Amino acid sequence: MTLTMSWIDWLIIAVYFIFIIGIGIYLKRFTGTGEDFFLAGRKNSAWVAGLAFLSANLGALEILGWTGGTMKYGMLVSHFYWIGAIPAMLFLGLYMMPFYYSSKIHSVPGYLRLRFDEKTRLLNAFSFAIMTVLMSGINLYLMALVLRTILGWDWHFSMWVSAAAVGCYIALGGLMSAIFTEIIQFFLIWFGLFLVAILGITEMGGLDQVFSGIPERMGQLWANTGNPSNNAMEVTWAGIVLGLGWVLSFGYWTTDFLVVQRAFSSKDLRSARLTPIIASFFKMALPFIIVVAGLVAWRLSQMAGSGFTLLPHPTTGEPWNDTALPLLIARYYPAGLVGLGITALLAGFMAGQAGNVSAFNTVWTYDIYRVLFKKDASDAHLVWMGRVTTVVGILLSVATAYLAMQFNTIMDYIQAIFSWVNAPLFATMLLGMFWARITSAGAFWGLIAGMLTSFSIFLAFKFGIMPTEWAKAITFTESPSEMSRNLWQAVWAWTVCFGLTIIISFFTKPKPREELIGLVKGLTPMEEQRHLPFYKRPAIVAIFSIIIFVILNIYFW
């Protein structure tokens, strides 16, 4: 299915590409130092950093991935926006950001070096770099999917055009360029895609009609999670709370440098702490676009004579869930408006792509290249290397985009990647920040063990070599879905890393406490807030966020 585009639609898309590349060209003059290129000069307000924080996350994973995921799992996808995000975002702002921001590091691996040692930093830097390239490839793949689905463009041409655009403005303006474009993309996504949900609800005859046609196993949030056979994700509430709400959520939002980097760009500690808290309010609202659109797509796919049919997957031939949102745009948007919808999708993909590339070039330059290859590199040389790395990262992303094509629902693949890297890393960071007794040896070997645990479970399921009884014991489910396996393998990775780190730490020597000032709870001076107005204190703003979070979970129970 392709659309006939009017000249206005093409003009909107062309203006968007010209504008974002122009931003990169303009901001190049302001990125002469490493602080400017990699951290946007640490000049941003809480609102600027907050919108960029969420926009970096609001890429292909959120837009196409979870619209397609909703067709498979229904309302349970909302967990990834609420319990799978909000508590962790608030925890990052209130408790972890003081350690990150006060140490003036350029990256999360940089914290690991200060808290533990160089080998732990390098382990995380390499694993994060690999994960980031894989995620970047997903963004390119889904961007090409949109252009192919709606416009009928060639796969290869679509990926190279989008890759070139992102590479241009990141290589020129660095993180500053990424943040400026992410804020623009944030508003484009909201204005361009909200109408899809509205028009879908209108066609269905109201929101009640959308939900009334959804099977019970797909239409509830918590009520059907007592027994895994009663819900589409085939997971219990324990798997959701522990695997998603605790391990994967905290592992991503508190340790993934892609999003944390935006908070590092804030002008002061209070702004850095408010960054994820402000973003949490917008994060909670996203299911009203993404999940509702997915439910509308599911209803249409079940209605005889609706004319709504998912495209076949290019490798399996099965209905391709990730094509749902582009097909909805093709269904609802008239000529002249479709350009806005396509631009909104492209903005989302490029925001996610920019986040991955800017995080990749920072970690490679500061945590790998400077450590292993050129310890005496000047600031100007590091900026040059950051630009070169951007181009290399883009090329690697194109390669990994073809790997992403092998998965029918992309979010299953994403959660597997998070369980390999972020889940065990969260155990390491949690122990390191809140317990001075944890040693460098404990952190390093615990992190390796956690990563190997998760990846081994994944491979055992992937290639069908996991004994049936073991599979039941690991997932507490008779026949676990792919998502259920991902959640539980994350729990086991975190548990192994957490336990082994503590055990090894008791038999090895910790760092002197004077070396941990500013890095560990109890040894870090906390920000004085008594002079601030009541409504400007991060803790008060966080309370309002958690109240809304609780209300949403109760209402959609």
The domain segmentation of the chain, as residue ranges, is 7-555
| Tens-digit pLDDT profile for residues 499-541 | 999 999 999 988 888 888 777 777 666 655 556 666 667 878 8
- Map tokens 């957490």 to a residue: 498
The model's confidence at residue 171, banded by pLDDT at 50, 70 and 90, is: low
CA dist 419 and 483 (Å) reads 11
Nearest-angstrom CA–CA distance, 357 and 350? 10
Six token digits for residue 175: 């993180």
Contact yes or no for 292/164 (Cβ under 8 A): no
pLDDT at residue 70 greater than cutoff 80 = yes
pLDDT at 336: 67
| pLDDT exceeds 70 at position 1 | no
Give the chain's mean pLDDT: 75
Task: Calculate what percentage of the chain has a pLDDT beyond 70.
Answer: 77
**Domain 7-555 carries which CATH code?**
1.20.1730.10
Q: Note the pLDDT of residue 531.
A: 63
Q: Are 368 and 140 in contact (CB under 8 A)?
A: no
Q: What is the pLDDT of residues 206-258, one digit of tens each?
A: 877 777 777 777 777 788 777 777 777 777 788 788 877 888 788 778 777 66
Report pLDDT digits (tens) over 314-325.
666 677 777 777
Cβ-proximal residues to 219 (8 Å cutoff; 6+ apart), any chain: 74, 75, 211
Provide the total of helices (H) and of strands (E) in the chain, helices listed first. Answer: 25, 0
Cβ 352 vs Cβ 404: under 8 Å = no
User: CA–CA separation, 298 vs 324, rounded Å?
Assistant: 9
Which three-class secondary structure string do you get for 131-184? Answer: HHHHHHHHHHHHHHHHHHHHHCCCHHHHHHHHHHHHHHHHHHHHHHHHHHHHHH
The pTM assigned to this predicted structure is 0.74
First to last CA, the chain: 37
What tens digit of pLDDT does each residue of 178-206 get? 566 666 667 777 777 778 888 888 888 78
Banded pLDDT at 498 (limits 50, 70, 90): very high
- On whether the CB atoms of residues 165 and 157 are closer than 8 A, the answer is no
Taking the CA atoms of residue 518, residue 37, residue 17 and residue 46 in that order, the dihedral angle to the nearest 10 degrees is 30
- pLDDT digit string, tens, across residues 390-440: 777 777 777 777 766 655 556 666 777 777 878 888 888 888 888 888 999
What pLDDT sits at residue 538?
80
Long-range contacts (CB closer than 8 Å, 24 or more residues apart) made by 258-261? 258/56, 258/57, 258/132, 258/135, 258/355, 258/356, 258/359, 259/53, 259/56, 259/57, 259/355, 260/92, 260/100, 260/108, 261/39, 261/56, 261/107, 261/175, 261/358, 261/359, 261/362
Answer yes or no: is pLDDT of 173 > 50: no
Looking only at Cα atoms, what is the longest distance across the chain? 72
